[in-house]
Amino acid sequence: MTDLATRPAPAPVAPAPKRGAKERWVRRAPLLPALIFAIIVTQVPFLVTLYLSTQGWNALRPGQREFVGFDNYLTVLTDTRLRAALFNTVLLTAGAVIFSLILGLALAILLDRKFLGRSVVRTLLITPFLVMPIAAALLWKHAIYNPTYGLINGIFGGSTDWVSSYPKAAVIATLVWQWTPFMMLILLAGLQSQSHEVLEAAKVDGANAWQIFRRMTIPHLRQYLELGALLGSIYLVNTFDAVFTITQGGPGTATTNLPYEIYLTMFRKFEYGEASAAGVIVVVLTIIVATFALRVISGLFKVEANR
Amino acid sequence: MNRRLIDSAWGVVAWVAGIVFVFPVIWMVLTSFKQENAAASNPPSWIFEPTFDQYALVFERNMTPFLLNSLMASIFSTLLVILLATPAAYALSLRPVEKWSDSLFFFISTKMMPVVAAFLPVYLLVKHAGMLDNVWTMVILYTSMNLPLAVWMMRSFLLEVPREVLEAGEVDGAGLLTSIRKIILPIVSPGLAATALICFIFAWNEFFLALNLTATNSSTAPIFLVGFISSEGAFLARLCAAATIVSLPVLIAGWLAQNKLVRGLSMGAVK
Amino acid sequence: MRRSRITLAAVAACALALSACSGAGTTGDSSSSEGGAKEITVLMVGNPQMEDIQKLTADHFTKSTGITVKYTILPENELRDKVTQDVANQGGQYDVVTIGAYEVPIWSKNGWLHELSTQMDADTAYDKADLLKPMVTVASGEDGKMYGAPFYGESSLLMYNKEMFEAKGLTMPEKPTWQQVADLAAKVDDKANGVAGICLRGLPGWGEGIASLTTIVNTYGGTWFEKDWTPKLNAPEFKEATKFYVDLARAHGEPGVAQSGFTECLNVFSQGKSAMWYDATSAAGTVEDPNASKVAGKVGYAYAPVNKTDFSGWLWSWDWAMPKTTKKQDDAWKFISWATSKEYEQLVGKELGWSRLPAGKRTSTYSIPEYKESAAAFADITLESIANADPVNPGLQERPATGVQFVAIPEFQDLGTKVSQEIAAALTGQKTVDQALDAGQKLAEDVAKKYK
SS3 of chain A: the string is: CCCCCCCCCCCCCCCCCCCCHHHHHHHHCCCHHHHHHHHHHHHHHHHHHHHHCCEECECCCCCCCEECCCHHHHHHHHCHHHHHHHHHHHHHHHHHHHHHHHHHHHHHHHHCCCCCCHHHHHHHHHHHHHCCHHHHHHHHHHHHHCCCCCHHHHHHCCCCCHHHHCHHHHHHHHHHHHHHHHHHHHHHHHHHCCCHHHHHHHHHCCCCHHHHHHHHHHHHHHHHHHHHHHHHHHHHCCCCHHHHHHHCCCCCCCCCCHHHHHHHHHHCCCEHHHHHHHHHHHHHHHHHHHHHHHHHHHHHCHHHHCC
Asked if residue C91 is part of any domain, the answer here is yes
Is C148 in the same domain as C52?
yes
Q: Which domain holds residue B149?
A: 61-265
Contact of C74 with chain B, judged by CB distance below 8 Å, is answered with yes
Is C310 in the same domain as C189?
yes
Is B154 in the same domain as B210?
yes
Indicate whether C48 pLDDT > 90: no
Asked if residue C149 is part of any domain, the answer here is yes
Q: How many domains does chain C have?
A: 2
Q: How many domains does chain B have?
A: 2
Lowest pLDDT segment from A80-94, A106-120, B174-188: B174-188
| pLDDT of the residue at A305 | 41
- Beta bridge partners, C152, equal C318
Looking at domain A53-302, its CATH architecture is Orthogonal Bundle (1.10)
Contact of A14 with chain B, judged by CB distance below 8 Å, is answered with no
Q: Highest-confidence range of A57-66, B88-97, B121-130, by mean pLDDT?
A: B121-130
Q: Calculate how close chain C gets to B222, using CA atoms only, in Å.
A: 11
Chain A residues within an 8 Å CB radius of B225: 132, 134-135, 138
Asked if residue C276 is part of any domain, the answer here is yes
Indicate whether B96 pLDDT > 80: no
Q: Residue C265: which CATH number?
A: 3.40.190.10
Asked if residue B33 is part of any domain, the answer here is yes
Percentage of chain C lying above the pLDDT 70 cut: 92
Is B224 in the same domain as B137?
yes
| Interface mutation vs chain A, best among B153, B266, B267, most A CBs within 10 Å | B266
Who among B65, B124, B230 is closest to C46 (CB)?
B230
A contact chains, 3+ CB pairs < 8 A = B, C
Mean pLDDT of C433-447: 94
Is C166 in the same domain as C298?
yes
Contact of B67 with chain A, judged by CB distance below 8 Å, is answered with no
Asked if residue C15 is part of any domain, the answer here is no
Q: How far is CA C375 from the centre of its chain?
A: 20
Asked if residue B271 is part of any domain, the answer here is no
pLDDT tens track for C291-344: 778 898 999 999 999 999 999 999 999 999 999 999 999 999 999 999 999 999
Is B156 in the same domain as B190?
yes
Is C144 in the same domain as C172?
no
Choose the final residue of a domain: C336, C359, C374: C374
Indicate whether C434 pLDDT > 60: yes
Is C302 in the same domain as C444?
yes
Indicate whether A18 pLDDT > 60: no
Indicate whether C5 pLDDT > 70: no
Asked if residue C285 is part of any domain, the answer here is yes
Indicate whether B159 pLDDT > 70: yes
Residues C78, B223: Cα–Cα separation, whole Å: 10
Looking at this protein, which amino acid is placed at residue A233? S
Is B35 in the same domain as B162?
no
| pLDDT of the residue at C35 | 43
Mean pLDDT of A119-138: 93
Asked if residue B270 is part of any domain, the answer here is no
DSSP element (H, E) containing C426: helix C412-427
| pLDDT of the residue at C14 | 43
Is B165 in the same domain as B202?
yes
Chain C residues within an 8 Å CB radius of A149: 267
Q: Residue B97: which CATH number?
A: 1.10.3720.10
Is C306 in the same domain as C334?
no
Is C242 in the same domain as C288?
yes
Q: Which domain holds residue C138?
A: 37-154+316-374
Is C87 in the same domain as C236?
no
pLDDT confidence band for A11 (50 / 70 / 90):
very low
Do B54 and B241 touch, CB atoms closer than 8 A? yes
Asked if residue B82 is part of any domain, the answer here is yes
Residues C105, C409: Cα–Cα separation, whole Å: 8
The domain limits of chain A are 53-302
pLDDT tens track for C23-35: 333 333 333 334 4
pLDDT confidence band for A302 (50 / 70 / 90):
low
Residues C195, C200: Cα–Cα separation, whole Å: 13
Is B147 in the same domain as B257?
yes
Is C297 in the same domain as C437?
yes
- Beta bridge partners, A90, equal none
Is C73 in the same domain as C180?
no
How many inter-chain contacts (A to B, CB under 8 Å) are there? 313
Contact of B229 with chain A, judged by CB distance below 8 Å, is answered with yes
Residue among B140, B153, B146, B142 nearest B86 (CA): B153
Residue among C437, C442, C433, B117 nearest A79 (CA): C442
Indicate whether C190 pLDDT > 50: yes
Is B26 in the same domain as B148?
no
Is B45 in the same domain as B94?
no
| pLDDT of the residue at A170 | 95
Is C328 in the same domain as C280?
no
Looking at this protein, which amino acid is placed at residue C346? Q
Asked if residue C4 is part of any domain, the answer here is no
Choose the final residue of a domain: B37, B55, B73: B55
pLDDT tens track for B8-42: 888 899 999 999 999 999 999 999 999 887 887 77
Is C403 in the same domain as C359?
no
Asked if residue C45 is part of any domain, the answer here is yes
| pLDDT of the residue at B270 | 61
pLDDT confidence band for B271 (50 / 70 / 90):
low
Indicate whether C400 pLDDT > 50: yes
β-strands C38-45, C96-100 pairing: parallel
